[in-house]
């Protein structure tokens, strides 16, 4: 008996030694942290509309599909997907899964979530990725149709049938996007503020919320009720809520954060040399929006003059310093044209050139010779070293080249978003990364009354082209419609493209398996800590 116990003790000690010394074992019990950005205004997937919120929601929720490392949608909550021959009807067969509180996840939870996003009463900023594609959705969202006419049908608790208004080859990629995530109908109906504190937060993804210290951090832990919990290796993930990239970098270099989602431009060269800074392809555009509901920005000549009077390469060299491409159109590189051997951007080419002399003449033609009589304008941006640096450089260029007075208006994130929404600005910094790999993901923004059209601009011909794109089954013809729409956008210039974005982030070398998507998304499902 004694010999047996002694042998058992020896085996236990050896096993512990193997665990401690084996590669991948972490004394931190697979804990890691990441700084996606500032305090979220909401973590309700149907109501949020910025990247930092989406990053956190992707950790805590999951849709019918989930994008893999190659950005290809894979079955997730939907175990099986049937698509009709005409491409208009999708039948999703749900696997047996539960929310983090143990409630069964049913097809009705998906329908409830999607209808919330489209309900005009909720004024969801990101309703259009659902409303534009599901039959009857746009009419319902515009208060011109009934809820019962929307093409979402619960066949039974495990089967959801969806009818599209037009063929959308990328629809399964959309169902991986947060607006399409399910929410627990019972929980949401009982408490409208369910998503604002950990005690009431319910989700269905790889992680569930443990705590939320507002303006400091959100801690999530592995969700044992997640259907694929066996694949989740991280036991605890902390989302630090540091808005200032400089402060976030300080925390990263002090070992307090394992990764950050935005890097101050002044530190890029040093971080590249150390290997901490990662630069990956991203399909997005950094631009300024003109408030065309205000004078003098209602005049296309003024918008054109401002657009031509800056030096984009100088802005990149002075501010970002990570070799972004100057933008002389709106749709970025990385999206294929109808001929998939070519990119949409290469086919479309550039729509304007920088030309100070022409900008000066346009300003004169608009009634402001040498800038005389032009009102002082303010550039609105949210706190970020890069945004401020870019705004400062552009301010100096406009003042020097056009003789106008420009000031900067830095506002905290929540205030900044409210000002954009209420059109209480002159010129504002905006950035957009595609939700799916199609030019429509960017061009659809600027249709009349679009929730993310932060310009007030509208053009009937443009809207007609975009509506045609959504109905066109001919890949070549629909691409041409989008080229034609972009030409209108870049002629009237309610927006000023500045550069096509890169994906820039830092990550400690011991954190493995995190997917940084060209869509700007970050997925921790398969992450590990090897330290």
* Domains of the chain, earliest start first: 31-235+511-529 (3.90.76.10), 279-503 (3.10.105.10)
Average pLDDT over residues 317-321: 86
**Strand ordering across the sheet containing 217-222:** 31-34, 236-240, 217-222, 207-213
Nearest to 54 by CA among 181, 172, 201, 202: 181
Q: Tell me: the pLDDT tens digits for 117-147?
A: 999 999 887 888 899 899 999 999 999 999 9
What is the C-alpha separation between 529 and 233, in angstroms, rounded?
8
Q: Tell me: the pLDDT tens digits for 493-503?
A: 999 999 999 98
Read off the pLDDT band of 18 (50, 70, 90). very low
What pLDDT score was predicted for residue 264? 83
pLDDT score of 334 more than 80: yes
Q: Tell me: the pLDDT tens digits for 159-181?
A: 999 999 988 888 999 999 999 99
> HEC states along 1-41?
CHHHHHHHHHHHHHHHHHHHHCCCCCCCCCEEEEECCCCCC
Q: Tell me: the pLDDT tens digits for 56-73?
A: 999 999 999 999 998 899
pLDDT score of 25 more than 60: no
Taking a C-beta distance cutoff of 8 angstroms, is the pair 330, 442 a contact?
yes
On average, the pLDDT of the chain sits at 92
* Strand 159-163 versus strand 217-222 pairing type: unpaired
Nearest to 447 by CA among 405, 508, 409, 489: 489
What is the C-alpha separation between 448 and 468, in angstroms, rounded?
15
- Per DSSP, the chain holds a count of helices (H) and strands (E) of 18, 21
Read off the pLDDT band of 462 (50, 70, 90). very high
What is the C-alpha separation between 258 and 87, in angstroms, rounded?
43
* Strand 31-34 versus strand 236-240 pairing type: parallel
What pLDDT score was predicted for residue 11? 35
pLDDT score of 249 more than 80: yes
* Helix, strand and coil in the chain, % to nearest 5: 35, 20, 40
What pLDDT score was predicted for residue 238? 98
């Amino acid at each position: 008996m004694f010999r047996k116990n002694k042998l058992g003790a020896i085996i236990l000690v050896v096993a512990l030694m193997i665990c401690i010394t084996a590669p991948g074992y972490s004394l931190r019990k697979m804990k890691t942290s990441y700084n996606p950005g500032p305090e979220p205004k909401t973590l309700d997937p149907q109501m949020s509309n910025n990247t930092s919120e989406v990053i956190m929601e992707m950790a805590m929720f999951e849709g019918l599909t989930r994008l893999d490392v190659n950005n290809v949608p894979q079955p997730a909550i939907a175990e099986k997907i049937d698509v009709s021959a005409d491409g208009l009807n999708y039948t999703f067969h749900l696997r047996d899964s539960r929310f983090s509180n143990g409630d069964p996840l049913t097809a009705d939870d998906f329908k409830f979530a999607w209808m919330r996003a489209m309900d005009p009463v909720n004024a969801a900023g990101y309703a259009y990725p659902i409303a534009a594609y599901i039959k009857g959705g746009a009419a319902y969202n515009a208060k011109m149709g009934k809820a019962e006419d929307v093409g979402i049908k619960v066949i039974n608790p495990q089967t959801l049938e969806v009818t599209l208004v037009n063929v959308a080859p990328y629809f399964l990629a959309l169902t991986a996007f947060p607006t399409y995530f399910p929410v627990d109908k019972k929980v949401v109906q009982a408490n409208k503020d369910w998503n604002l504190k950990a005690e009431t937060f319910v989700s269905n993804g790889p992680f569930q919320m443990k705590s939320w210290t507002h303006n400091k951090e959100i801690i999530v832990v592995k969700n044992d009720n997640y259907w694929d919990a066996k694949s989740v290796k991280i036991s605890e993930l902390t989302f630090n809520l540091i808005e200032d990239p400089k402060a976030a970098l300080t925390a990263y270099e002090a070992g307090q954060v394992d990764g950050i989602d935005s890097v101050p431009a002044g530190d890029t060269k040093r971080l590249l040399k150390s290997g901490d800074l990662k630069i990956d392809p991203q399909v997005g555009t950094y631009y300024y929006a003109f408030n065309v509901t205000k004078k003098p920005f209602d005049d296309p000549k003024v918008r054109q003059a401002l657009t031509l009077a800056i030096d984009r390469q100088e802005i990149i060299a002075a501010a970002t310093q990570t070799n972004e491409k100057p933008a002389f159109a709106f749709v970025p590189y990385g999206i294929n044209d109808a001929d998939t051997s070519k990119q949409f951007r290469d086919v479309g080419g550039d729509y304007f050139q920088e030309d100070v002399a022409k900008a000066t003449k346009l300003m004169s033609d608009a009634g402001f010779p040498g800038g005389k009589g032009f009102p002082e304008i303010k550039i609105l941006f949210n706190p970020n070293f890069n945004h401020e640096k870019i705004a400062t450089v552009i301010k100096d260029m406009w003042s020097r080249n056009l003789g106008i007075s420009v000031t900067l208006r830095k506002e905290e994130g929540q205030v900044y978003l409210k000002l954009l929404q209420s059109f209480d600005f002159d010129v504002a910094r905006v950035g957009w990364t595609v939700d799916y790999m199609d030019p429509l993901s960017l061009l659809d923004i600027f249709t009349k009354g679009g929730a993310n059209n932060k310009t007030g601009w509208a053009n009937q011909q443009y809207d007609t082209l975009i509506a045609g794109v959504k109905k066109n089954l001919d890949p070549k013809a629909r691409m041409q419609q989008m080229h034609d729409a972009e030409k209108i956008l870049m002629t009237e210039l309610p927006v000023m493209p500045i550069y096509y974005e890169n994906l820039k982030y830092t990550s400690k070398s011991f954190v493995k398996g995190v997917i940084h998507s060209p869509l700007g998304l970050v997925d921790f499902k398969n992450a590990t800590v090897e330290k």
